């Protein structure tokens, strides 16, 4: 839902006021070092800036310091590309805290871009003595304050505002030791998820697959170039499909890239949902009902059979970034690879207990809503939800087995519906194969399928000759 122009104007003025106050506090604490924060002079004489140390204490009285030099973790990508799953898996690690999206940081970075683009605003800043260094320091402290106070303290802080990667180069300028995880997913799956879940993104027309694929192509191209400009040592491409197919292999590579010690808890994030120092959920995040489940294959190819035929036919021209990223635009359905055995087992269990997991998802979101209202229910044990469902329905005497018996008829109906859906998809796939045969002669010889790529593939190995995007970029 788009805000009226008047509301947008008010929002911009509020953000402007916050930045001005932050800048004032920075100048004030520079003159009075005993106030607010601990300040240390840096060796950067030209900038004449101060290093601001911030301390936060957890429930165990452990103190953590936060500053611009700390190794922050940023998760970026086009929405519906696996960013929520990634942050949930990292949140399960005892040394990492990501939390939900702030939705503020990308806006403040864009606001800075608007200021610099406007000659009038730039002149006002110059006359006020607000240099680039002062502004960068103020924005960095503002963002750091949001990230640090967005959840429980932890040795490593992480932020998941996907569109922040569009300003990745500037973020690295603010936080020189930060690292990005660039979540990449088959654009066809991403767009289908955006449309089917009615995810509103500025510029995306949810009534048009063609237009959304074009917008996805533009957004992913910007992020891809930003990641390449940042460098492979600071930005790692993570393919959603490969993360789901081979979770342990990829999480080991990811934690190694982030300099975080291995912990098997990242493979079982569903066991830490809404637990203390675990994986907090938000009712405003569209993927909350999905991340309560263990890693599974359900979402990999849901898009197959839902994209209009004319869009399928023109896919290579509409979204050339599919080929750049290693996806075959002519494959419908695609072959992403063979999953690990335990992931396949997770998927089978989910299908056998579909109604049970749907009830669990609803209950989790209801509990999360109550915690938002009361600010008291942060220690919910999700693993006991199934038992609580059975207790409520059978006077506190039924267990999971009794629930399964009660919903057996409904599950059989679902299985029958799944079989009918599968038959429909097979017919659609036959039609897609006909289109594929018609265009097989047009298929580029250098197309690399995602299955052929090694699991540690990172396109940052390409030559760094892409366009440099300076400052913030508009929402796609």
CA distance 123 to 382: 54
DSSP assigned state of 149: T
CA dihedral 168, 169, 174, 175 (to 10 degrees): 70
> Is 101 an active-site residue?
yes
CA distance 133 to 365: 43
CA distance 273 to 281: 7
When computed from its CA atoms, the radius of gyration of the chain, rounded to whole angstroms, is 24
Q: How far is CA 395 from the centre of its chain?
A: 41
Q: Provide the token pair at 219.
A: 């957004």
Among 30, 101, 133, 145, the active-site one is 101
Tell me, letter by letter, the H, E, C secondary structure of 39-90.
EEECCCCCCCCEEEEEEEECCCCCEEEECCCCCCEEEECCCCCCHHHHHHHH
* Residue 252 phi, psi (nearest 5): -65, -45
Q: Which residues contact 411 (CB under 8 A, 6 or more apart)?
A: 352, 353, 354, 355, 404
Burial bucket for residue 384 (CB in 10 Å: 0-12, 13-18, 19+): exposed
Q: Provide the token pair at 109.
A: 């970075």
CA distance 368 to 330: 42
DSSP assigned state of 420: H
Tell me, letter by letter, the H, E, C secondary structure of 459-471.
HHHCCCCCCCCCC
As annotated, the active-site residues are 101
């Amino acid at each position: 839902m788009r805000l009226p122009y008047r509301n947008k104007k008010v929002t911009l003025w509020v953000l402007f006021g916050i930045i001005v106050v932050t800048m004032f506090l920075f100048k004030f604490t520079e003159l009075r070092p005993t106030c607010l924060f601990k300040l240390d002079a840096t060796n950067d004489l030209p900038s004449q800036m101060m290093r601001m140390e911030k301390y936060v204490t957890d429930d165990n009285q452990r103190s953590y310091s936060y500053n611009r030099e700390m190794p922050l973790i940023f998760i970026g990508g086009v929405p519906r590309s696996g960013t929520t799953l990634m942050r949930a898996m990292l949140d399960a690690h005892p040394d990492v805290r990501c939390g939900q999206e702030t939705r503020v940081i990308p806006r403040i970075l864009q606001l800075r871009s608007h200021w610099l683009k406007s000659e009038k605003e730039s002149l006002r800043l110059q006359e006020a003595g607000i240099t680039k260094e002062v502004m960068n320091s103020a924005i960095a402290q503002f963002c750091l304050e949001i990230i640090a106070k967005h959840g429980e303290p932890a040795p490593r802080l992480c932020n998941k505002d996907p569109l922040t990667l569009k300003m990745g180069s500037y973020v690295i300028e603010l936080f020189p030791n930060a690292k990005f995880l660039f979540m990449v997913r088959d654009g066809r799956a991403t767009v289908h998820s955006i449309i089917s879940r009615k995810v509103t993104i500025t510029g995306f027309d949810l009534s048009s697959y063609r237009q959304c694929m074009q917008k996805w192509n533009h957004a992913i191209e910007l992020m891809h170039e930003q990641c390449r400009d940042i460098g492979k040592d600071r930005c790692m491409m993570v393919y959603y499909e490969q993360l789901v197919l081979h979770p342990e292999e990829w999480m080991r590579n990811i934690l190694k890239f982030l300099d975080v010690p291995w912990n098997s808890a990242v493979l079982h994030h569903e066991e830490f949902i809404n637990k203390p120092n675990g994986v907090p959920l938000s009712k405003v995040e569209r993927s909350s009902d999905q991340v309560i489940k263990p890693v599974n294959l359900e979402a990999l190819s849901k898009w197959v059979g839902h994209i209009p035929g004319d869009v399928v036919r023109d896919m290579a021209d509409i979204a050339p970034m599919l080929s750049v990223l290693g996806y075959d635009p002519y494959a419908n359905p695609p072959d992403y690879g063979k999953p690990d055995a335990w992931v396949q087992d997770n998927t089978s269990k989910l299908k056998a207990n579909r109604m049970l997991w749907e009830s669990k998802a609803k209950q989790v979101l209801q509990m999360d809503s109550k915690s938002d209202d009361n600010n008291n229910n942060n220690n919910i044990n999700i693993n006991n939800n199934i038992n609580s469902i059975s207790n409520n329905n059978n006077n506190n005497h039924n267990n999971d087995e009794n629930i399964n018996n009660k919903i057996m008829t409904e599950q059989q109906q679902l299985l029958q519906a799944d079989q009918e859906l599968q038959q429909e998809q097979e017919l659609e796939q036959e039609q897609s194969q006909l289109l594929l045969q018609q265009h097989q002669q047009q298929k580029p010889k250098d197309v690399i399928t995602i299955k052929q790529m090694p699991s540690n593939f990172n396109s940052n190995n390409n030559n760094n000759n892409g366009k440099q995007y300076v400052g913030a970029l508009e929402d796609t």
